A and B are shown apart, each in its own frame.
Chain A
Amino acid sequence: MATPTTAAPPRDTPGAGRRRPRAALGEPAVPYLMLAPAVVVMLALLAWPAVQVLGISFRKLDLGELVRGEVVWVGFDNYAEILTDPVFWSATARTVVFTAAVVAATVALGLGVGVLMRHLGAVVRTLLQISLVLAWATPIVATTTVFQWMFDQEYGILNKTLVLLGFDSFQGHSWFATGASTLTVIGLLVLWQATPFIGFTLYAGLVTTPRDLYEAAAIDGASPWQAFRAVSWPSLRPMLTLVAFLSVLWDFKVFTQVWAIRQGGPDGSSTTLPVLLYLKGISGSHFGVAAAVAVLMLVVLVAVTWRYLRLLVRSPETEL
């Protein structure tokens, strides 16, 4: 509180505002100077590593080169190796389908939860919110371990419950026998962890809608569905676009859960792009090839989110 009062007086001296032209040379630089620290940090922490990755993707960089500090340029060899590998294409298709399914499910469920919170009584809503926060706050690996036990073939509560309910075929059923089944379990896990954030964000969007609008809609005889479409939807739309965009980014990059559940198995059939990146880079010590996978992932991601990115660039201040 003390600082502004001591700093303010010189600025308030009469005439200071009117004399602006005098500082004409220095003045335009001020905003840029103020931005500079942030820009420098961003460039150092984000742009430089990104440029490095791009550079490495054109190099042969295995353990030997890394240790000896050699720089071996190989042009597009790494890209050629990746693009001719059928594993890359199946992983890309798998990742895109997985991301689309999980994003659609998360946003739909999040919207449902948001609308539900809007209509619940205070007590039940608080309980729901606490539960959501707990689900969200649980460490990813802890939740993953719980899911592994729930879906365990022999000791899992899911199979035991299904058998109790009379579905005897689930006795000893393996949920991780095929890639599709494994990715479904992983999708449920991601859904469980991602819904709270989406739910809260959309709920925040809903509560900012003025009550009067709903009252006006009610007076006009609108059904709940019509009220939702006419009143809630317009205020939710930019929010929905935002959370869908964020979800695409998150779900496309999911690695921890996929790796922890079955290491991309069985037989590589739940290997997504981030898993492939790990296999090439960390497991195989082919850092050049891994960098090429990373660059290609970025290309796929930009292609998938192209529409949102354009909206973002065109109208940064209004709708996303």
Chain B
Amino acid sequence: MSGVALAATTALALSGCAGSSGSGGQGGGGPRTLTVWLMNGSAPTALTDALHKEFSDSHPGVTVNYEIQQWNGIQDKLTTALAGNDAPDIIEIGNTQAPKFAAAGVLADLTADTARLSGDQWLESLKASGQWDGKQYAVPFYAANREVLYREDMFEQAGIAAPPTSRQQWLDAIGALRAEFGSDPDFQALYLPGQNWYALLSFIYDEGGDLARQDGTAFTATVDSPQAKAGLEFYGQLVEASGTKAPKDADEQTPEQAGIYGGGKVAMMIGLPWEVATAAKTDPGLTELTSAFPIPSKTAGEPAPVFQGGSNLAVPANSADQDLARDYLALMTSARYQGELAEAGMIPGASTDTSALEADPVNAAMAAAAKKGRSVPATPGWASIEAGQNPLKDMLTAYLTGAKDITAATDDANAALNKAFGG
């Protein structure tokens, strides 16, 4: 078995080599291979199958060598691959990692191709994360943002007529839920661990604040601003009001919040649409009982801005088939395939049409806030924060546990962020 697999891999590798290095500059004539690396769990197989067929049909003699990569260890793999002569032609990179690669000068400049890559439809947050020094190095692929997942049955029992559409209504709903179910010591109106910094970002944006101020390629942290402090205070207010038993020194992954929600004693959590499926592993009935609403804003009736996580597509500077790669990107960012991404439950990166998400209430709530999506500062320093120690998490824990007052907590986080931005 392993012998066969090895032989197959070697054959693939060899054909990949021959394709990209042999025919690079010649343009047309002779078989060519386009190597595409997409991440595990991103584009559905039906989409890539159809897209690759269409691409091969319109580009006779070109073979698409499609490889699905695992997220685990992808940074190192990309670093090695981009350094070599045998770089893939298309890569998918997480939007918070994109600036690191763009700034290192290993990606091809796509600014001139913006128009044919549906540039007028791009999701603002992903567009920003693909930019460096005024040039576009990565194009939006797809994104997702957090929303409030809630138990419809519990809301009904507590007499909450409609999902909250303002912060005040949200706090009122928490009050009503606690009044109804508070006698159960295990009940939590909102499960909110101390380090859900994605939720914090939403509150800071809603106050009009941001993590940093950009000036060309220089970033200055602004977590010590009054707006950021107000966002942090609201986080504390939510933790206080909800009486959540979640640890103050851990994020939503430790322990996995969907598992806690699956226990049936939690009325709300701030999460991604597919966390419902994770919770349903514990209790299949939850899929039926769970709905969602956008994270409420200070301004009644509007969703709060949200942090958007997602992926960008890029062409390595070392790719031998730059023209083919751009054709491939044009097809991927076309309305048809972007529509299929939306049908798969993701926010399309290169299409403003999110109608395919409307059918399911959990997806619809995500789409409702999507237009106000933002991303973290597009600086190479951010990658080191996510792969290392996140000052925002430390700030949240220090503030919520009372280890530091709000000024000290935000000042320390601001200094740590500036240090990371500085390289």
Which residues of A line the B interface, CB within 8 A? 62-64, 66-69, 148, 152-155, 172, 174, 176-177, 262-268, 271, 278-279, 282-286
| A62-B384 in contact (CB<8A) | no
| A284-B247 in contact (CB<8A) | no
| B106-A64 in contact (CB<8A) | yes
A177 and B248 alpha carbons, distance in the complex (Å): 9
| A174-B104 in contact (CB<8A) | no
| B46 touches A (CB below 8 Å) | no
Mark each residue of chain B from 382 to 396: 1 if its CB lies under 8 Å from any CB of chain A, else 0: 011001110001100
A76 and B299 alpha carbons, distance in the complex (Å): 55
| A265-B384 in contact (CB<8A) | no
| B266 touches A (CB below 8 Å) | no
| B388-A284 in contact (CB<8A) | yes
Evaluate whether A154 and B83 lie within 8 angstroms (CB atoms) in the complex, with A64-B105, A284-B388 already known.
no
Evaluate whether A283 and B255 lie within 8 angstroms (CB atoms) in the complex, with A177-B249, A266-B397 already known.
no
| A285-B389 in contact (CB<8A) | no
| B245-A154 in contact (CB<8A) | yes
Which 5 pairs between the two chains have the least Cβ-Cβ distance?
A283-B388, A64-B104, A284-B384, A283-B387, A63-B104
Evaluate whether A282 and B387 lie within 8 angstroms (CB atoms) in the complex, with A63-B104, A67-B82 already known.
yes
**A65: nearest residue on chain B (CB-CB)?**
B104
**A175: nearest residue on chain B (CB-CB)?**
B249
| Other-chain residue from B105, B106, B389 in contact with A263 (beta carbon distance below 8 A) | B389
6 residue pairs from A and B, CB less than 8 Å apart: A63-B104, A64-B103, A174-B248, A177-B401, A265-B389, A283-B388
Total A-B residue contacts, Cβ distance less than 8 Å: 82
A263 and B397 alpha carbons, distance in the complex (Å): 14
**B409: nearest residue on chain A (CB-CB)?**
A267
**B84: nearest residue on chain A (CB-CB)?**
A67
Mark each residue of chain B from 84 to 105: 1 if its CB lies under 8 Å from any CB of chain A, else 0: 0000000000000000110111
**B397: nearest residue on chain A (CB-CB)?**
A266
Which residues of A sit under 8 angstroms from B397, Cβ to Cβ? 266-267
| B388-A63 in contact (CB<8A) | no
Which residues of B sit under 8 angstroms from A286, Cβ to Cβ? 423
| Other-chain residue from B106, B255, B420 in contact with A67 (beta carbon distance below 8 A) | B106
| B315 touches A (CB below 8 Å) | no
- Give the distance to chain A from B128, nearest Cβ to Cβ, in Å: 20
A82 and B389 alpha carbons, distance in the complex (Å): 18
A174 and B420 alpha carbons, distance in the complex (Å): 28
| B68 touches A (CB below 8 Å) | no
Which residues of A sit under 8 angstroms from B104, Cβ to Cβ? 62-64, 67
- Give the distance to chain B from A149, nearest Cβ to Cβ, in Å: 9
| B350 touches A (CB below 8 Å) | no
A267 and B416 alpha carbons, distance in the complex (Å): 10
| Other-chain residue from B106, B387, B389, B423 in contact with A264 (beta carbon distance below 8 A) | B389
A174 and B254 alpha carbons, distance in the complex (Å): 14
**B81: nearest residue on chain A (CB-CB)?**
A67
| B383-A285 in contact (CB<8A) | yes
| A154-B247 in contact (CB<8A) | yes
**A178: nearest residue on chain B (CB-CB)?**
B403
**A278: nearest residue on chain B (CB-CB)?**
B388
Evaluate whether A174 and B249 lie within 8 angstroms (CB atoms) in the complex, with A67-B83, A263-B389, A266-B397 already known.
yes
| B79-A66 in contact (CB<8A) | yes
A263 and B388 alpha carbons, distance in the complex (Å): 7
Which residues of A sit under 8 angstroms from B248, Cβ to Cβ? 174
Docked complex: B253-271 residues within 8 A CB-CB of A: 254-255
| B148 touches A (CB below 8 Å) | no
Which residues of B sit under 8 angstroms from A265, Cβ to Cβ? 249, 389, 393-394
A154 and B254 alpha carbons, distance in the complex (Å): 12
| B398 touches A (CB below 8 Å) | yes
A262 and B397 alpha carbons, distance in the complex (Å): 13
A152 and B250 alpha carbons, distance in the complex (Å): 10
Which residues of B sit under 8 angstroms from A263, Cβ to Cβ? 388-389
**B247: nearest residue on chain A (CB-CB)?**
A153
A302 and B101 alpha carbons, distance in the complex (Å): 38
| A279-B83 in contact (CB<8A) | no
Which residues of B sit under 8 angstroms from A176, Cβ to Cβ? 249
Which residues of B sit under 8 angstroms from A153, Cβ to Cβ? 247, 249-250
Which residues of B sit under 8 angstroms from A268, Cβ to Cβ? 389, 394
- Give the distance to chain B from A70, nearest Cβ to Cβ, in Å: 11
Which residues of B sit under 8 angstroms from A262, Cβ to Cβ? 249
